[in-house]
Amino acid sequence: MTSTDIPLVRVLEADGTYAPSPAADEYLPLIDALSDAELEQFYRDMVVIRAIDTQATNLQRQGQLALWPPSRGQEAAQVGSAHAARRQDTIFPSYREHAVTRIRGVDPVDIIKLMRGVSHGGWDPSDPKNGNTRIYTLVLGSQTLHATGFGMGLVFDGKTATGDPERDEAVVVYYGDGASSQGDVHEAMVFAASYDAPVLFFLQNNHWAISVPVETQSKVPLAGRSAGYGIPTVRVDGNDVLASYAVSRSLLDQSRAGLGPRAIEAVTYRMGAHTTSDDPTKYRGSDEEQSWAQRDPIARMRAFLENRGAAASLFTDVETEAADAAEDLRARTLLLQAPTHDHMFQHVYSDPHPLMDEQRAWLANYEASFEGEA
């Protein structure tokens, strides 16, 4: 099996031309139903999150963050799939889904808190403003197990496949090509398929697992891994926001209808480093990066909108909004304060616990023992 054996769903060519691939035909009605405002919002979200991502990378370089995983180049896969999910769906990100989390309602500064080391999780998943978005998972691939378990719970509790699309729930879990080699991911797929859990496994194949190329990880397209467990899988051009949206929307509808798990391989590219602790020049060449830069998802969508007659003011407004969002992120990051020591004891148990009281008192006495020392 090669990549040519699995059809790729693409709607927009790299230059923004509307030229659906044969595999995209069944999804075109979903794209045709999009309004101009929705199409423009896709573009707006991609531009703004790239500005935020760039600002966060700069903040890390300036010593304000311990780490930052850039998402540059993967905006289309994330924005399209995030808009495809319904409000009642639950999202399980990995650690690079900055666009997804923002669209669902998470404040980007909450991600900054995590990467700065002033928060254990970043945000409260149970707070409605965060759009049923679980916290970032740094343990590679483990979020797929969490998502599958949650999806199985939806089946057991009768919260899916009732025939009411406004109430039926589904789950989207994001992971990368590197995580697809983890045992947790495969175990999650086994259970999701066995229990018809309404889970969309969204694989962002950005071609590099830190420094390991995807060709080394797998001799067949990664879409074949989920398909091997009996999960219907679609391969999508991950730099085409329209393809990402339409396929995600269709597969999520199928999962909510009780048809079981679905999977997407979004073929994209990580334009930056794996994280800010990584130097991609050590393991890949500039020719590869330049080739993928010509398929930039933002430039592609802008060309498409311009061809449709979008006003020049749209792009000016979006650039202004993006710059303002980046500056706001920087300003609020610099105001963040370290949490008090007491904070680490507050959420270990759901109810007050004597062991926490004991440890809190021990720490207070220990620190007090240094008072008065020269």
Active site residues: 270, 274, 283
Look up residue 198 and give its two tokens.
């309404």
Residues across the chain: 374
How far the first Cα of the chain sits from its last, in Å, is: 70
d(C-alpha 371, C-alpha 374), whole Å: 9
Per-residue CA distances from 34 to 69, 264, 269, 312 (Å): 31, 21, 26, 20
d(C-alpha 38, C-alpha 51), whole Å: 20
Contact assessment for residue 335 and residue 112, using Cβ atoms and an 8 Å cutoff: no
d(C-alpha 333, C-alpha 327), whole Å: 10
At what angle are helices 312-334 and 36-61 packed, to 10 degrees?
A: 40
Burial (CB < 10 A; 0-12, 13-18, 19+), residue 254, is middle
d(C-alpha 293, C-alpha 305), whole Å: 19
Contact assessment for residue 78 and residue 100, using Cβ atoms and an 8 Å cutoff: yes
Total Cβ atoms within 10 A of residue 166? 7
Contact assessment for residue 211 and residue 282, using Cβ atoms and an 8 Å cutoff: yes
